[in-house]
Amino acid sequence: MDTALQHITEIVRQAAANRTPLRIRGGGSKDFYGQTLQGDVLDTRPLQGIVSYEPSELVITVRAGTPLAEVEEVLAERGQILPFEPPHFAASGAMATVGGMVASGLNGPARASVGAVRDYVLGLELLNGKAELLTFGGQVMKNVAGYDVSRLMAGAMGTLGLITEVSLKVLPRAVAESTLVFELDETRALAQLNSWGALPLPVNASCWFEGALMVRLRGAQAAVAAAQKSMGGTVMDAGQATLLWNALREQTAPFFQLAEGESLMRLSVPDTAPPLGLGPTLIEWGGAQRWLKLPLPRRPDMSEVLDSTAGHATLFRATDKSAGVFTPLAAPLDRITRELKKQFDPAGIFNRGRLYPDF
């Protein structure tokens, strides 16, 4: 165990003994996400570096405090990417880290077609609430027999332990790419996306806003060319398309700029759900992710709407989070989640209240 990890382990050991809450933090780019921030800051940035990278095996192992930008740069040199396009949210100068990427479980525009961050986590090392260093998974896809603990950590917001190292599957960058634009209202855009979803088309990402549907194609040159011909639409300039998808990934597009008193909600619904008519909306992931901008400082009650569509809501950005950020879990899932917390963090020191006020 190196000096940096020894130091962090001792901090966790003392915190567990004194039941002192700790707030796990990398570069701070996701500080806005989730419930309240509580506890003494436990900085993961001393845990930096790429442990191993096997381009031919499509696997990279990285320490948790490593800047995400550094990893993406190394992959780009070999023509490879993290296909789920994890957002950095670094516009404010904060630095996204690999550990924060996994812990937040957030994904970019391509998520609906390529999968989520948890689908690319092969294994990880975790420091639990007893200051024990545990290893789960490995460096190949089929390495798990039983409960897949490593992928459980994706989206857990650091409430179960501190990720110290993670192995990720990567993919080659697509040979060809094209973005098509269509003038469609919300209802027609959703219908068209669902129609395309039933066809063997290389649709990689989509976005609808204010009467314009943008669809990104990625894949082999012949596949993209054939899809472009059959789908129609107007081809967007490549430079403009890059700016568009980056702005969606990093939420720097005008839609995501909030005025005083406004809140940003993320709705996860079936991609076949009709227009919800709740306010200004931006739609991604083939209709499954809908961003809603509300002139309200608090989380509105959407239980009736979401019950009818079998979805859930997250208060993604807001000044007042007292009404709760995440949709409450169903009783069985809540019980399982709390039991996991007891097993991994019996003293309850990690990221108290980050997922739920009493968690």
Question: Could you tell me the residue ranges of all domains in the chain?
Answer: 3-172+334-344, 176-250, 255-317
CB atoms within 10 A of CB 61: 20
pTM of model > 0.85: yes
What is the rounded distance in angstroms from the CA atom of residue 220 to the CA atom of residue 70? Answer: 27
Position 264: which residue type? L
Domain topology for 3-172+334-344: 3.30.465
| Strand duo 289-294 + 263-268: pairing | antiparallel
Tokens of 79: 């023509």
Q: Which CATH number fits domain 176-250: 3.90.1720, 2.60.40, 3.30.360, 3.30.70?
A: 3.30.70
Residue 302: the pLDDT is 60
Mean pLDDT by 10 residues, the chain (359 residues): 93 97 96 94 97 97 97 98 96 86 98 97 96 82 61 95 97 98 98 96 98 98 97 97 97 94 92 92 97 73 64 90 87 94 96 92
Residue 85: the pLDDT is 98
Residue 310: the pLDDT is 77
Residue 74: the pLDDT is 98
Residue 149: the pLDDT is 85
Which of 120, 125, 127, 41 is CA-nearest to residue 86? 120
Which of 344, 273, 343 is CA-nearest to residue 306? 273
Strand residue runs (E) in the chain: 22-25, 40-43, 50-54, 59-63, 80-81, 121-127, 133-137, 162-169, 171-172, 176-183, 203-209, 212-219, 234-235, 263-268, 281-284, 289-294, 312-317
